[in-house]
Amino acid sequence: MRRNFVRTLMMLALVPLGLAAANHAHAQQTIGKLEKLSPEFDKLVPATSKIEVVAKGFTWTEGPVWIGGDDGHLLFTDIPRNSIFKFQPDAKPGQEVSLFMNPSGYTGVTYYGLEPGSNGLFIDKQGRLCMCEHGDRRVSALTPNGGKITLADKYEGKRLNSPNDGVVMSNGDIYFTDPPYGLPNQFDDPRRELDFCGVYRLKPTGELTLLTKTIERPNGIGLSPDEKSLYVAQSNPKMANWTKFEVKADGTLGEGKQIHDATQRVGKEPGLPDGLEVDSQGNVWASGPGGIYLFSAKGELLGRLVTGERTSNCTIAPGGWLYMTVDHYLCRTKINATALGK
């Protein structure tokens, strides 16, 4: 997503690479408000919920994913700083945030624009952390006790633009989006080899298939619980919307239908449609202008978690927490929903 690059450069100069300044929920800093548009909203977001700032001091946060196990924690990216950070909610105050990986998405030796790091993060069927890498223009996986391997970096012999976000099907197929936001000059970058932005399917065998190029600027992506629908966010300021595609029995996509258009909010509220999360009941939690939009499984807009900041993504964690990456913050709020597969 585009941001105020002047402020970004200032923050890059002022904040050294390494640990961000942690600000746990104990500090009780809150932002924004809840906006109910349907009675169903209260069932999913209690009226007493607050948008808590749990960590800050980053540049542009993205890609939150919850890692389970005894050491339950959240991983999220800071794209301009080419880093992945780890947030441990049960750690001692002031020790919740640590650097998990650097570099995270660009391993070259020259300057590579303002968004070189990894964007979306997800866990594949083998339990590996997978990354949509801007700078190295690939989807990769972190191997146990080892380095990263490339899962996909070319389509028909041409390098991908800059993979943005991904989601995994129960059979192991990975669906991901590929806009050019990670290229230094984005759509006009001379390094660009594909003249379209695609939504792809990557099979465990390594076979990569283009599913659609009808979304000019595909961004966030998610699957319905029954895996019969695929949601794709479009971060085009002139067509800021979310599309629901039919997923056919063979895994290809059928007709796409717009579920909501937020174009009229662009410029009036900060941000664009970006990352999204689908809960176990099929509700869609999607970042967009002004904050997080909550859609029912039928596509009805139930309400919004208005952060008042450019909001990039979200994920659902145990304990009824919705974690949100909000500009230079990591935030969370209490909800009555569980993640898929939980």
Residue 26 has pLDDT above 60, yes or no: no
- State both tokens at 68: 């389970």
Residue 8 has pLDDT above 70, yes or no: no
Q: Which amino acid is at 86?
A: K
Q: What percentage of residues in the chain have a pLDDT greater than 90?
A: 88
pLDDT score for 31: 97
Residue 137 has pLDDT above 60, yes or no: yes
What are 188-219's pLDDT values in tens digits?
Answer: 999 999 999 999 999 999 999 999 999 999 99
In a domain, 339, yes or no: no
pLDDT score for 3: 45
pLDDT score for 13: 36
pLDDT score for 68: 87
In a domain, 340, yes or no: no
Q: For the chain, what percentages of helix, strand and coil (3-state, to nearest 5) are there?
A: 5, 45, 50
Contact 31, 55 (CB under 8 A): no
What average pLDDT score do residues 84-113 get? Answer: 95
CB atoms < 10 A from the CB of 221, how many?
25
DSSP bridge pairs for 339: 279
Closest CA to 171 of 88, 93, 227: 227
Q: Which residues of 138-169 are buried (b: 16+ CB within 10 A; e: fewer)?
A: bbbbbeeeeebeebbeebeeeebbbbbbbbbb
In a domain, 233, yes or no: yes
In a domain, 222, yes or no: yes
pLDDT score for 6: 36
Residue 257 has pLDDT above 60, yes or no: yes
- State both tokens at 2: 């585009």
Specify the DSSP element, H or E, that contains 83: strand 83-87
Residue 240 or residue 71, greater confidence: 240
pTM: 0.93
What is the gyration radius of the CA atoms in the chain, in angstroms? 18
Host domain of residue 55: 5-334
Cα–Cα distance measured from residue 240 to residue 260, given in angstroms and rounded to the nearest whole number: 9
Residue 2 has pLDDT above 60, yes or no: no
In a domain, 284, yes or no: yes
Please count the structural domains in the chain.
1
What are 152-179's pLDDT values in tens digits?
Answer: 999 999 999 999 999 999 999 999 999 9
**Contact residues for 303 (Cβ-Cβ < 8 A; gap 6+):** 34, 35, 36, 37, 38, 41, 45, 294
Q: For tokens 């050294």, what's the residue?
A: 16
pLDDT score for 28: 74
In a domain, 271, yes or no: yes
CATH number of the domain encompassing residue 19: 2.120.10.30
In a domain, 342, yes or no: no
Mean per-residue pLDDT over the chain, rounded: 93
Residue 88 has pLDDT above 70, yes or no: yes
Residue 4 has pLDDT above 70, yes or no: no
In a domain, 341, yes or no: no
**Contact residues for 126 (Cβ-Cβ < 8 A; gap 6+):** 141
pLDDT score for 19: 52
* Stretch among 34-38, 89-93, 149-153 having the lowest mean pLDDT: 89-93
Contact 150, 140 (CB under 8 A): yes
What average pLDDT score do residues 214-239 get? Answer: 98
What average pLDDT score do residues 295-317 get? Answer: 98
Cα–Cα distance measured from residue 277 to residue 322, given in angstroms and rounded to the nearest whole number: 10
